[in-house]
Amino acid sequence: MGQLQTSTRCFNFKGEYHLLIEDVALEDDAPYECQVGQSESSPAIISQTAWLNVKIPPLKLHIEVESSEPWVAGKEYSVKCTATDAKPAAEITLFKAGIQLTDLYTDTMSGSEDNLMNTEAEVRVKAEGADHGGLLVCQAMNSALTTAMIDSKLMIVYCK
pLDDT in tens, 26-48: 888 888 777 767 778 878 777 77
Architecture of domain 60-158: Sandwich (2.60)
Instruction: Supply the pTM of this predicted model.
Output: 0.79
Q: How is 51-91 classified by DSSP, letter by letter? A: EE---B--SEEEEEES-SSPEETT-EEEEEEEEEEEBSPPE
Is 132 within 8 Å of 45 (Cβ atoms)?
no
pLDDT in tens, 97-154: 999 999 999 999 999 998 999 999 999 999 999 999 999 999 999 999 999 999 999 9
Is 107 within 8 Å of 116 (Cβ atoms)?
no
Q: Which amino acid is it at 152?
A: S
Outline which parts of the chain fall under CATH 2.60.40.10. 60-158
